[in-house]
Structures are given as structure tokens and as C-alpha cells.
Structure 1
Amino acid sequence: MTNAHLGKGTMMEPKYFEVAVDAGIATVTMCREPVNAQNTAFRQRCIEVFDNLSDRDDVRVIILTGQGKAFSAGADLTDRPDLETPGAYRRHNRTIRDCFDAILTCPKPVIAAINGPAIAAGFVLASVCDIMICSESSWISMPEVAVGLAGGVRHVLRHFSQSDARLAMFTGRRISGPELLRMNVASACVPDAELLPAATSLAAEIAKNAPLAVAAAKRSFAVSEEMSVHTGYSFEQSQTANLARSEDCAEAVAAFAQKRSPEFHGR
């Protein structure tokens, strides 16, 4: 079912995002015609969407995809800051970071269903999701060098090998969905018509697990990414120790003993 309301007192304009929630899965569809280009208003809406979904008890997993033939063509170049206005570029950059961080720090797993071109900031939007799957006709590109810019390096480096990251950034070439799978950037590449069903099936697989445990696992990924193995694993163990006291953990133990499926409530 489609939810216009993302939270109490919050209404989304359909020209930016559409949100549907069903069986614990929120499908977020970017719908800023014609190619889901990102301007300031788009980014502010994105922050609002993910902040609201982060706090909704009826949402366990989120799918992010694009309406039409594009995932996102990246930044709207008609919405650039005035270089002569003090502080304008700082505010502009902060909004961009906050938009990506709203997804990156969302406690619910986010699946990027890349349905078409994901260009520059469009690919970064996909890269801050937890899992990327793509359609066979999709492609990504980081073409900033062709227009005298060089953004996105750190996010590209999180998903590509050192050589492939430089190839993507230095050439700006298109990298197809099948190539993303071969490069181990995407977890799956499926026929176009199967993309959303595949993303929904994956989301359902995640949603059936204990929500507190899934959130703790995501937190461990985020916190330990830049840590040493020892420090990162120690943090992960602290998460597990806390989870052991949860009602969901007790329910999982009881369900195993009784040979039934557990019923998790996020407590």
C-alpha cells in the first residue's frame, strides 16, 4: 500500500519521492522527472524520508529505486551555489553530505535497486545503501573529470578495487550492470523486469530476522569499517552481549527449542 504520510504531520510531494510500505518493507521511489536529478529540495526531501523511515516500527528494510528509465542522473547542474556568496558552497556541500548520511546512517538495511543510469551523485546515492542490485540495462558513470570536477572518490573506493576505482574516476566511462556484478560492486544483476521483485524478495529475507540484531549488525559495519580487526571485533562482541539480553533473543532460543518460526517484535 502506498503511504503519502511518512510520519505524523509529514506529507511528501510526489514530484520528489513516493513511499510504499508493506510487510515491513518500505519501497522508496525517486520521482523527480525526467531523470531524478538531485537539487537542494530533492536532498532535503531525501533526508526527511529516511529520517522518518528510520523511526518507523513498521519498517524493517528499505528499497531505494528510481521512477522511469533512470535511477538518478546525479546533481542538478542548474542548482549550483553562487561562488560569490560567502558560505554558499559550504551550505551546499553540507546538504549533500547530510543527504547521503541519512541513508548511510539509517538503522534499517537499505537496498539500492539500480534500474537505469546512476551517474556521479546518482551512483553515490546507490553506494551509500547497504546492498546494490542492478538491472541488466543499468549503468553507472563518474564523469566529473569531463567537466573539471572530481567528486565521489571516497565513496567509489568503498566498493571498487583500487585499480577499478581509478579507472572509473579517471575515465568517466560507463560501467554496465553486468560489469558491476563482475567487479563485485553489485550483489546481483537481473533482467530489467525482475529487478523490483528480486529486491523485494531480498528485503523479505532480511525482514524476517530479528530487527534489533539486524540493526546491530549494520551499526557494527558502520563503526568498524575504519577500525583494526581486533578493535572492530571487540565492538561487535559488545553488540552481541547487549542483544543476548533482548526479548527477541529469548524468543529465538524458545522457537528453536520448540521447532517453530520465531516471532520478533524488536524488543
Structure 2
Amino acid sequence: MYKTLLLEKEGRIATLILNRPDAMNSMNGVMMKELAECLESIKQDTSVQVLLLKGEGRAFSAGGDIKAMLDTDNPFNIEEAMSYVSRIAMALYTSPQITIASVHGAAAGLGLSMVLACDIIIAEENSKLAMNFIGIGLIPDGGGHFFLKERVGIPRAKQLMWSGQIFKGKEAKEIGLVDEVASEGLGWATAMSYAQKLMKSPLAAMIASKEILHANQIKELELILEKEAKNQSAMRKTVDHLEGIQAFVQKRQPEFKGK
């Protein structure tokens, strides 16, 4: 059904797997579109009460596909991409399911925004989490500003976004970025065990509490997504962004000019 995703259902549990392992599950236009459509369809599935997210291969997701951004044969449509990532963020935040992210390897940029949109985050010890848009002269998108602020507060969120600092599992838990740390290679087993415990819980009550807690924040998320889309489009045209992606491809340190 999907080119870049695998969706599996077993009873009341659904598993969504990002499936571009050769590209470390970096998100191109096709994956963004499929994620938006898939998550919106899961929202409508009343038989599902728990949704698990994971990445195939070596990572959860390395974020946006920078090579796709540089493909002159198929120009990257930033406005379309922003529409998809906004839909992904809103679908996750308003989903009538308990969402669990299982992180191994990298969860960077847009990949981390997606992780932070989930209710429960389990990261392996050696996973690498970074809100590292700054490295290519961009701002967080996919609700990254909103979800990071929700997790760690505004002052810490600014520092994490501006530095692009990489956190391993235990460091991430210490600052409240993730909920549980699993041993290397056991992230998925831990997430599945968590899901099985939820199956024995009064899930209807838990989902109702989630809806109540999120209800008043939805308008703020919508506003932030709108501002992210507008500003990301502007950042894509900056000298610093061009330098950032060229430096990334050339594997050198960027020389930013603040323009």
C-alpha cells in the first residue's frame, strides 16, 4: 500500500514502521505525504488504541532528506512539504490512541519532531537525538518548537534548537526529552512490553485524559505549525541554508554569515 512505510495491526495495537533503511529513514516528499495520509487514517480507526512507531534498519529517522532538497531534476517543493509535516504533527497530537515511539540510532531534525509528538518515548542507550535543523540554517518544523517546549520548557528548548546538541539515551532522559531508556538493541522489545501492559490498562480512561490535556493546546500547535511553515520557506532562501547543505554534502564545517 505504501512505498516508504509498513503498517501492521494486531488486535488493538498498530505498528507504523518508517521503511527507507538505505537512507536512514530520512523523509523525502513521498514519505512525508504517506505519513500524513497514514496517520490521518489511523486516527479514524476506532479499533486501534495503541500506536507504536519505529524505524527500519539503523535508525529511527535522520530527518529531512537533504539529498532530495538538492535534486535539481525533481525540485523540492517546500510549501507542499510543510503542509505534509504539519498534518503529521497534528495527526499525532490529536490521535485518539496512546502513541509510543521506539528510538534506536538517530532521531534527528524532523525525525525528532515526530518522536516528541508521541505520548511515550523509549530510546536505546546509544541512540542519538538532536534537534539539529540549525546545522543547515533551518528552523525546527513538524511542530518541533511546540513539542520541545512541551517536553523541556521554553528556555531549555531554545538552547537545544540553537545548539543542535546531540543527546544519547540517558542524557535525553535526564532532561526529560524521553521517558524510558532501554539497553542497546532492546528498544523495540521494551516498547512492545509497554504496549502489552497498556492492553491490561483502562485505555479508554487514559485516552480521554490525553484528549482533555491536549484540547486547549491544539490552537497553539496550529499557530506554531503555521509560523514554522512560513519561516521555513523563508529560511530555505537564505545564504546560510545554501551554505549549510553544501557543507553537509561536502562533509565540512559550514561558514555561516547570518544571512
TM tier relative to shorter chain:
0.7 to 0.9
Amino acid at match of 2:101: A
Amino acid at match of 1:25: I
The aligned counterpart of 1:12 is: 2
Deviations along 1:191-230, one digit per CA (max 9) or x if unpaired, are 1232112111211222333443233122112114489xxx
The aligned counterpart of 1:102 is: 91
1:119–1:142 CA contact under 8 A, matched in 2: yes
TM-score, normalization: structure 2? 0.74
1:81–1:89 CA contact under 8 A, matched in 2: no
TM-score, normalization: structure 1? 0.72
Q: Does 1:164 align with 2:152?
A: no
Query: Residues 94 and 48 of structure 1: is their aligned pair in 2 closer, same or farther, counting only changes over 3 Å?
Result: closer
Of 46, 68, 77 in structure 1, the residue corresponding to residue 35 of structure 2 is 46
2:107 and 2:40 map into 1 onto residues whose CA distance is 23
The aligned counterpart of 1:68 is: 57
2:21–2:58 CA contact under 8 A, matched in 1: no
Moved over 6 A (4+): none
User: If each structure's helix is expressed as a fraction of its own residues, which one has the higher value?
Assistant: 2
Q: CA deviation at 1:58?
A: 3.4
The aligned counterpart of 1:200 is: 192
The count of corresponding residues between Structure 1 and Structure 2 is 210
Q: RCO (CA 8 Å, sep 6+): is it higher in 1 or 2?
A: 2
2:135 and 2:5 map into 1 onto residues whose CA distance is 30
The aligned counterpart of 1:245 is: none
Pairing of 1:112-151 with structure 2 (within 5 A)? 112-151=101-140
2:38 and 2:78 map into 1 onto residues whose CA distance is 24
Q: Percent of counterpart pairs with the same letter?
A: 24
1:38–1:76 CA contact under 8 A, matched in 2: yes
Deviations along 1:23-81, one digit per CA (max 9) or x if unpaired, are 42112111113211112210111122222322334321011011111111101124449
Which stretch has the larger CA shift, 62-71 or 192-201? 192-201
The aligned counterpart of 1:187 is: 179
User: What RMSD over aligned residues (CA atoms) do the two structures have, in Å?
Assistant: 2.2
2:103–2:127 CA contact under 8 A, matched in 1: yes
| Bigger radius of gyration | 1
Structure 1: 5+ residue runs without aligned partners?
A: 1-10, 83-87, 228-267
